[in-house]
Amino acid sequence: MGGVLAQIPAASWPVIIILLCLSLLSLMLIVAKIIQLLPATGGAKTRDATIDTFLSGNRDAAMSAASAGRAPADRVLLTAMQGLAAGLPLAAVEAETTRRGNEEVAAMSTWLRLLDLISMIAPLLGLLGTVLGMIKSFQDLSAAQGSANASVLAGGIWEALITTAGGLIVAIPAAVAANLLAGRVETAALRIESAVGRLLALSHRS
């Protein structure tokens, strides 16, 4: 590995360093978002039971169960229950839960755009490094004044292509993670709508 790194053209090293920094940043973001979103879609059956408890008249127990939940849907559901328990009109409760739901979705979506950005710019940076490396290789070939052979040219090309490979290695995991995490955020948002919608619909019937 050290021998490969030693053969990378000096002109490509700034790009390699940037790609390494982006790789570390991407890894930290992916781990942080996985930890944050791991409980985001769970607890659907528990919320249904909590709603039934609330509608049966045991509101304190229901709100206590909702406050113990870890999912964003639990927190928004608690907001709706508190509004209904306080006697607020359904329209006011809907407005407040919509605001709280938007806040939860925004919090879950934090840094996902940065992951998207990393997945877009990493291949471009890799290509830039390749271009810089190719320029250096052709400069060396020109300086050789015809004494260089095809193997020298091929060696310069593969050395330059290392940055393109590095850019793709950084971009692919970032792109996959960004899409999977965005899908989990969408699922969590649907869980919020489902729980609050069920509570408000049943409360309206009552």
Say what the pLDDT of residue 41 is: 95
Instruction: Tell me the angle at which helices 90-109 and 72-85 cross, rounded to the nearest 10 degrees.
Output: 160
Residues making up the chain, counted from first to last: 206
Residue 2: pLDDT band (50, 70, 90) is low
Task: Give the pair of three-digit tokens for residue 11.
Answer: 């002109």
Q: What is the mean pLDDT of residues 76-100?
A: 96
**Which is higher by pLDDT, 87 or 154?**
87
Say what the pLDDT of residue 9 is: 65
Task: Tell me the residue type at 167.
Answer: G
Residue 182: pLDDT band (50, 70, 90) is very high
Q: Can you tell me the distance from the alpha carbon of 58 to that of 117, in angstroms, rounded to the nearest whole number?
A: 48
Residues 6 or more apart from 41 whose CB is under 8 A from it? 71, 184, 187, 188, 191
**Percentage of the chain exceeding pLDDT 90:** 73
Least confident range of 82-86, 150-154, 160-164: 150-154
Say what the pLDDT of residue 13 is: 82
Q: What ranges do the domains of the chain cover?
A: 2-37+113-191, 44-109
Residues 6 or more apart from 29 whose CB is under 8 A from it? 111, 114, 115, 177
Task: Provide the 3-class DSSP secondary structure of residue 7.
Answer: coil
Q: 37 — alpha (psi -120 to 50), left (phi > 0) or beta?
A: alpha
Say what the pLDDT of residue 183 is: 97
